[in-house]
Structure 1
Amino acid sequence: MKQWNHLEAFLLDGHLEIDNNRSERSIKPFVSGRKNWMFSNTLRGARGSAIMYSVVETV
């Protein structure tokens, strides 16, 4: 019930996708190596990596 507004937005806007497969495929090259996880050993590092990858993929 807490997500009902998001569900309605998805149903009303044809541009919204039902899953995030496209975004997961687009960041796969970034996460495919061991060195990519070097700064993700803390919550802060993982959050920073997620922000960076999001910016890179949306530009």
Structure 2
Amino acid sequence: MARRYTNTQEQWPWLTRYLLDGRLEISNNRAERSIKPFVNDRKNFLFANTPRSAKSSTLIFSIIETAKENGLNPYKYLTHIFKTAPNLDLAEYPERIAQLLPDSAPDQCKTAAAAN
């Protein structure tokens, strides 16, 4: 019991960090909810044919979850990325990648709730 108390005392500054910034949430429920699809599909990744295909799947899942967190329709956002990226010449102008970020997405990618 004393060890638990000591451990809590040592971790106290980090446990109460959210109190210093009102924008921070008390819980990490949002983060937990956002990784739930990854946890549910973890077994599916075991049967990916190659490490490269597993990496591709996780990349797409990451983009989809990022789109959701930014109030974008994942299908429309992915469509935007796949149509726009080939024309950006990222090899010569790597700074153009910013055009593909969620905050640069066109209005048609936004969900009805985010558009209001």
Greater C-alpha radius of gyration = 2
Higher relative contact order (CA 8 A, sep 6+): 1
Whichever structure has more helix as a proportion of its residues is 2
Q: TM-score, normalised by structure 1?
A: 0.49
